[in-house]
Structures are given as C-alpha cells and as structure tokens.
Amino acid sequence: MPQPIRLQHTQALDEPVESLRFVSSGRALALERLGIGNKRDLLEHYPRRYLDLSTVSSIQAAKIGETVTIVGRVGEVKLKKPKPRMTIVECSVIDSTGVIIGVWFKQPWIANRLKKGDRVSMSGKVEMNFGFKRMNSPFYEVLEAADRDPDSDDAYQGRVIAFHPLCEGINAAWMRRFVHEALEDCRYAIDPLPAQLRVSRGLVDRNAAWRGMHEPADMREQEEARRRLAYDELILLQLHFLLGRRQLEAGLEPQSQVIDGPLLSMAREQLPFTLTDEQEKALEQILADMAAPRIMERLLLGDVGTGKTVVAALAMIAAVDSGQQCAMMAPTAVLAGQYGNKIGPMLESVGIEWALLTSATPAATRDRILERLASGQLKVLMGTHALIQDDVLFSNLGLVVVDEQHRFGVDQRTKLRRKGKGSDYLAMTATPIPRSLALLLYGDLDCSTIHRRPGNSTPCKTVVLSSSERAVAYDAIREAVKQGRQAYIICPLVGVKSEQEEDEQGLLEARIEQGEDCSDPKAAQTEARFLASKVFPNMRVGLLTGRMSAADKDATMEQFRDGAIDVLVATTVVEVGVDVPNATVMMIEDADRCGISQLHQLRGRGGRGKYPGSVYLLAPSSQGKSKARLEALERTQDGFKLAEYDLESRKEGDILGSRQHGVPQLKLVNVLKDSQLAMEARQDAEELLERDPLLESPINGMLAIELERLRKRASDAAGE
Ligand code: ADP
Ligand code: MG
C-alpha cells in the first residue's frame, strides 16, 4: 500500500465520529455518552458478546436438558401476574422447525423489549413443560427488530454476530454500521507494533485484529484478534511501568549499601532459627538490589506467616550497617505496633535504636523522636501514616519498607520515599497473587516471592458451616478456652442494615476488603454482650471495632495478648492482623460476603503457635455458589492457588481496580487466560527499552505515540 494512503488512514483514527457516513450530530452526541469521540474509540469499542450462528440449533433438534442457542421470530409475548409481586413473561419463538417458549420471572420489562416479528436468539437450557419446549430465564438478543428502520440494515452479514455495548439512541444495527465504516476508513492504518515483534510473537496485524474483533468470520479469528489487541494493552502497560520507574528514579541519588556489615552478620547469628531457602533467596535479591548503584523497587510477596517480617528486618539492618536510616510504614496502628514487637527486640540485640510513631504518640514523645531522627541517632522508625507528615525529617533515609502498599495512595508512598535522597524501596504484601497478576498490578516492582511457611507452623483446619450449625463453632470455642486457649469471633457485617447491603452490592464487600469497618458499633456491642451473657457466660469476652480510639484498640489487643480476654469479638477484620499464638479458634460470620483472599489472610492468624488451629466459616445457607467458594478454603492452604480461584470468579476490572492503582484500563486482557502473554509482553518491553531506552528510534515511533496517548488517558482518569 502506498505510504500516503497509509498515513491518511492512520490520521483517520483521530478524526471525530461525525466525519463518518451516517453519523449525525445527534448520534455523535449519543456516542459521546459511551466515551466514543473519534474513529479509534469506535474501533476500541469492543463487543461484549458474540453469537456464532454456526452453533445455532434448530428448535426441533434442541434436546431436552441441553443448553443451546436457537434463532427465530417472536410469535406472542404474554405478561402474566399470577399473584401480587409476581410477574411472568412468556414469549414464543418460532423457527422453520418448531416453537419454543422463553420464560422470565419477575422481569416484567422484558415484555416491552420483545415484539412480535422480532428476529431473536435465545440461549438456555431446554426443558419440557405442558407439552412445549421451554427455556427458563434464557439469555436473549434481538437480532433484527420487526419495526426496524430500513436504513439501519446491517452492513455486515457474517456467520458471527457481535453485540456491542449500546446506549439510548443507538441500536445494535447502527452501532455495527458505524464500526464497519470506521473499519473501512482506517483499514490501511500503520501498525504501531514493530513488525519484528509482531512476527516473533505470532500476532496478526492490528487492522486485521480490529476487523476480527468486530466482524469475525469465525470465533477462532476473533480469538486471534483478541490476543493481538490484548498484547498491545499489555506491552503498553509494561512500557508505562518501566518508563515510569525511570522517571521516578531520575534526580534521585542511588546508594550502594554495604551488605556484609557487622550488624547484619550479628543479627543473622542471633536468629533463633535458620531462614528457609525461599527467605534466603528473597533476602539475597533484596541485598543485591541494595548493593547495586540503583534504586531498589521490590515487592516481597508471601502469605501471612511465611516469614517476610524477618527478611525485611534484616534488610533494614543492612541499611543501618551502611550508616543509613530506615522507615517502615504499616496501614494500621495495631499492625505497626506488632512490627515493633517483632522487630524491635531484634534491632536492640544488635544495638540499633528504633521507635514507633503513630497518631496516638504523645506530643512530647513525638518531639523527642523527631529530634533523634533528624540528628541521625534514631536508625529505624516504624509507624503508620504519621510517618508521612512534613516535620518528620530523616538525616539519611536509605530504605523505605511499606507493608500492604495497596492500602496507601501513590502520593503517600512517594512522599515517604522523598524523605531520602535516593532511598531504596521494599513493599510487602500478604495478599498472594499469581506472578502474571503481580505484573499487571505492580509491574513497576520486581518481585520476590515466599510460598511456603517455615516448617514449624502447625496446620489449621477450615470448616464451612451454615448459620444453623453455629453451635459447632461455639462448642469448639468453649473447648479451646477450657484448655487454656483463646478465640476470635469476627463479625465484619454486624448491624449492617439489609437495605444498605442490597444498595451497595459489591461495594460493601470492596469496602470491607479495604479494611473499612462497615458495622454498626451499637450492634457490635449488643452482639458482644449477647455472646458474653448467653453463649459464653463463664468466659471473658472482649470487643474490638474499627471505630474505637487507637488507645482503646491497643488496650484491648494487649489484654487479648496477655490472656485477659478469652474470646475477642472483632468487626474490622484487618485490625486483627495480630500475632497471638495462643488463639487457636477463629469463627468468621458472614464469610460468604468476604473475599477468598481476605478470608485466607484472616485464618492465617490462627494456628501460629504450637497448637493446631481451626477456623469456622459461617454462611447463611451452606449451598450454592458461595458455598463452593468457601469450600476452596477447606481444600487448600496454598494462598496462590486460592488467589487464582478467586480471580476466576471475578471480573478483571474489579481485580485491577485500575484507578486506585493508577494503572491504565485494560479492556481485553484476561488475567488468568493471558498470564503467558503478560510475561511475554513484559520481556519484550524490557528488551525494547534496553535497545531504545527512550523509544526514540523511528521503528518505535508509533509505539511511543500510542504510549503517550495511554499515559495521558491514565493521568486524566486519575485526575477525574
Ligand atoms: P509474615 O511477616 O510473613 O507474616 P513472620 O515474619 O511474622 O511472617 O513469621 C511468622 C512466624 O514464623 C514468626 O513467629 C517468626 O518468628 C517465625 N519464623 C520466621 N521465619 C522462620 C524460620 N525460617 N524458621 C522458623 N520460624 C520462622
Ligand atoms: Mg541501593
């Protein structure tokens, strides 16, 4: 194709939709509601579903009990109201071989969406009832409206029909037509992916891919197309991460730390155990980064109890060996305090001064801490957000450790890091995720992973119970306390009103997972009182809620740690990020409303001492999908396996929470299916930047432009 045409078609991508045939200003306005402004937007407006006509069954051939798709014309639509608050829509669909009836309960609006004479597809399980084949709540699409506008006849008549997301004022046929026109206008646009890369990864060219997404000849072609465009999303994301990292590092002064100093070797000798191979490897990777004249950007990934803390502590000691200071930030005061308890003694034993700073630290103490920090005498400062405040100044901050970094904003993390001239950065997370997902979420970090817990930890048994079987858990708690052990009862939702629950479907879960206390404090108190008086009358029952003051929380935790409380009723799950080896039983109410990973993290709190632990997960009824989810926890202790299982049952958007992470939107990538592709894209991005660090070579020019576009979109989205 001659160059001028290629250029013209490339430029066409950025032309407004009004320049397309059939797009009036009214329709352009409607498209804008879908975020579609130019032809490229249309091409990236990917179908949400496909109907492969080659798999359509005739009504006669549709077998009872099988799930099939049929296509036919609507005969009659009936809306029935057999009793108050119950509606049934029945719609007969006829093809040349017979009749089938679609039935929908409590969805009266469907009666208005289907009209006699419409050509529709219906997918569902075939049943036989009252002498007719029927489908209950089938999935349907209108392929051609009976009263269609003859102008809007489909330009495209393939064997596979694509269904695009629509909006008021644009029907499916119009949308297909607009997309078709955009495909035509841009069909010789230049492919931004360097040909060599495309060939080496066996990818189709971009124009073919766009065609294959919107007008595939068959589903194999669609999959090839999706793979190519998903690869584009992935490599751009990785370039974005890698270049972003370079930008962040520009202007910083990387330090090469000593990694064989006396304090580190002393601390290692004093450890009461030997590090596992995985801990050794993680530590080695961290120390290598620190020693190198570059900024460390590393994530230490591992389940609760896999021994990350000790690895982080040794890294901090290495920094102190090099005359530097360290900051360690945790999302809650309880967690920060726990780090103090675990790491503090280790630091003291090699003569390192440390302190804990939270918003609850008394002013006088705080002043002294800041003074010693500025003079460089204080080597390690642990704490919460309180570390970020402007007047917290280090004399020589060399290493920043951030626990559960996703609980902090990018700005907060950066602010802490900027307190050093070129401090190294170590993030930790106890949410195990597969490597491919780590690449998508934390692609700007290198990963060290610990899979296995050190050998000493006792196994913990997990049992799913229905609400009516609650007594089983209560008995286990009584038995444990009788033997001198302790128990947690976690009620993440106590007192949350049911309407609120329904309103915020999904949102509520997300908030709980972020560690928010969604419970009603009064109801939590009532629950604790009820448990104390009626269920465990001879035991000491304590209450911990997210809304208590930090001091009250600490006091309660301390009582629990000291054994002055037998049963701790807690609402905010994350506050229970505390290590109490004597607590062996955990009961989690409303477990079906919590994420798998979150439950897994929680149960890691049990069975940490020398006694075996047990965890009871309560769900309203022990049936259905939520039961299956919870049973995965019964079956395996492997957090990474569970994470994959969790991913399968979620949508990409939820997982990536793209805005929050400052990660550009991925439209086509499937975290599980594309894990291989994600790793290939990462490798390609690294190699590309190695050869052409600023993407200046003409061969990468188009890619650089695409990247610029994506970064702009990401920053616009973040700024919204
Ligand atoms: P994490 O920070 O990953 O949740 P921790 O560092 O708190 O895990 O370790 C959990 C427990 O295991 C702690 O009590 C710790 O002292 C202990 N531990 C850590 N590493 C080892 C090891 N290599 N061998 C034996 N015990 C270990
Ligand atoms: Mg360094």
* Residues 528-556: tens digit of each pLDDT: 899 999 999 989 999 988 778 878 888 88
pLDDT at 713: 78
Overall fold of domain 461-636 = Rossmann fold (3.40.50)
449 Cα: distance to centroid of ligand 1 (angstroms): 14
User: What pLDDT band is residue 54 in, cutting at 50, 70 and 90?
Assistant: confident
Measured in angstroms, how far is the CA atom of residue 428 from the centroid of ligand 1?
A: 14
Handedness of CA 65, 67, 68, 74 (dihedral sign): positive
- At residue 446, the 3 state secondary structure works out as strand
Question: What integer pLDDT is reported at residue 650 of this predicted model?
Answer: 59
- How many residues are recorded in the chain? 720
| Residue 487 in this model has a pLDDT that exceeds 90 | yes
From the CB of residue 606, how many other CB atoms can be counted at a distance below 10 Å? 24
Kindly give the distance from the C-alpha atom of residue 488 to the centroid of ligand 2, in angstroms, as a whole number. Answer: 41
Ion ligand 2, residue ranges at CB < 5 A: 255, 290, 424
- Output the pLDDT for position 659: 37
Find tokens 């990247």 and name the residue.
Answer: 707
Which atom of ligand 1 approaches the CA of 274 most closely?
23
126 phi and psi angles, rounded to 5 deg = -85, 130
Q: What share of the chain is helix, strand, coil (3-state, %, to 5)?
A: 45, 20, 35
Is the predicted pLDDT of residue 402 greater than 70, yes or no? yes
Strand blocks (E) in 457-523? 460-466, 486-490
Listing DSSP states for 252-283 in one string gives: -------SS-HHHHHHHHH-SSPPPHHHHHHH
Position 466, amino acid: S
Between residues 83 and 152, which one has the greater pLDDT?
Answer: 83
Give, for ligand 1, the residue of 275, 300, 309 to mutate: max count of ligand atoms closer than 8 Å to Cβ: 309
| H runs (alpha helix) in 531-674 | 550-561, 596-603, 624-635, 639-648, 652-656, 658-661
Give the model's pLDDT for residue 653.
45
Higher pLDDT, 662 or 474: 474
Candidates 497, 304, 477; CA nearest to 404 is: 304
Cα–Cα distance for residue pair 358/277, rounded to 1 Å: 34
pLDDT at 318 over 80: yes
Q: Which residues contact 118 (CB under 8 A, 6 or more apart)?
A: 73, 74, 142, 143, 144, 145, 146
For the chain, count helices (H), then strands (E).
Answer: 27, 21
Ligand 2 centroid – CA 249 distance (Å): 12
Specify the higher pLDDT residue, 699 or 666.
Answer: 699
Can you list the alpha helix ranges (DSSP code H) found in 388-430? 410-417
Q: How far is the CA of 358 from the centre of ligand 2 (A)?
A: 27
Closest residue CA from atom 26 of ligand 1: 454
| Complete DSSP assignment for 136-195 | ES-EEEEEE-TT--GGG--S---SEEEE---BTTB-HHHHHHHHHHHHHHTTTPPPSS-H
How many Å lie between the centroid of ligand 1 and the Cα of residue 276?
10
* Nearest CA residue ID for atom 15, ligand 1: 307
pLDDT attached to residue 657: 43
The ligand minimizing its distance to the Cα of 297 is 2
- pLDDT band, very low/low/confident/very high, at 346 (cuts 50, 70, 90): very high
User: Would you list the DSSP string of 74-132?
Assistant: EEEEEEEEEETTEEEEEEEEEETTEEEEEEEES-TTHHHH--TT-EEEEEEEEEEETTE
- Give distance in angstroms: CA of 412 to centre of ligand 2: 21
The answer to whether domain 52-152 has CATH 2.40.50.140 is: yes
Residue 155 pLDDT class (50, 70, 90 cuts)? very low
Q: Look at residue 252 in the predicted model and tell me its pLDDT.
A: 83
What is the whole-number distance in angstroms between the Cα of residue 264 and the centre of ligand 1?
A: 18
- pTM higher than 0.75, yes or no? no
User: CA angle 663-11-17, nearest 5°?
Assistant: 80
pLDDT digits (tens, 9 = 90+) for 410-453: 788 889 999 999 999 999 988 777 777 777 777 878 899 998 88
**Arithmetic mean of pLDDT, 391-409:** 90
Instruction: Find the ligand nearest to 277 CA.
Output: 1
* Integer-rounded Cα radius of gyration of the chain: 30
Distance from residue 305's CA to the centre of ligand 1 (Å)? 6
Specify the range with the lowest mean pLDDT, choosing from 77-86, 452-461, 668-677.
452-461
Question: Of 176-180, 329-333, 365-369, 665-669, where does mean pLDDT reach its minimum?
Answer: 665-669
Beta pairing, strands 67-83 & 86-95 = antiparallel
The ligand minimizing its distance to the Cα of 328 is: 1
- In this structure, of 234-238, 312-316, 482-486, 515-519, the range with the lowest mean pLDDT score is 515-519
Is the predicted pLDDT of residue 475 greater than 50, yes or no?
A: yes
On the question of pLDDT at 149 being above 70, the answer is no
Does residue 134 have a pLDDT over 90?
yes
Q: Which of 95, 51, 104 is nearest to 73 (CA)?
A: 95
What is the CB < 6 Å shell around ligand 1? 273, 275-276, 279, 302, 304-310, 342, 454, 456
17, HSE (Cβ side, Cα atoms, 13 Å): 28
The rounded mean pLDDT for the chain is 86
For the cut 50, the answer to whether the pLDDT of residue 499 exceeds it is: no
In this prediction, residue 623 carries a pLDDT of 60
Mutate to test the pocket of ligand 1, among 273, 338, 451, 452 (most ligand atoms within 8 A of CB): 273
The residues spanned by each domain of the chain are: 3-50+157-217, 52-152, 461-636
Quick one: which ligand is closest to 420's CA? 2
Residue 456: nearest ligand to its CA?
A: 1
Q: Given the CA of residue 457, which atom of ligand 1 is nearest to it?
A: 12
Beta bridge partners of 127: 134
Residue 638: what pLDDT? 79
pLDDT attached to residue 660: 42
What ligand 1 atom has the least distance to the C-alpha of 303?
A: 3
Q: How far apart are CA 78 and CA 93, in angstroms?
A: 12
What's residue 389's pLDDT? 95
Indicate whether 678 pLDDT > 70.
yes
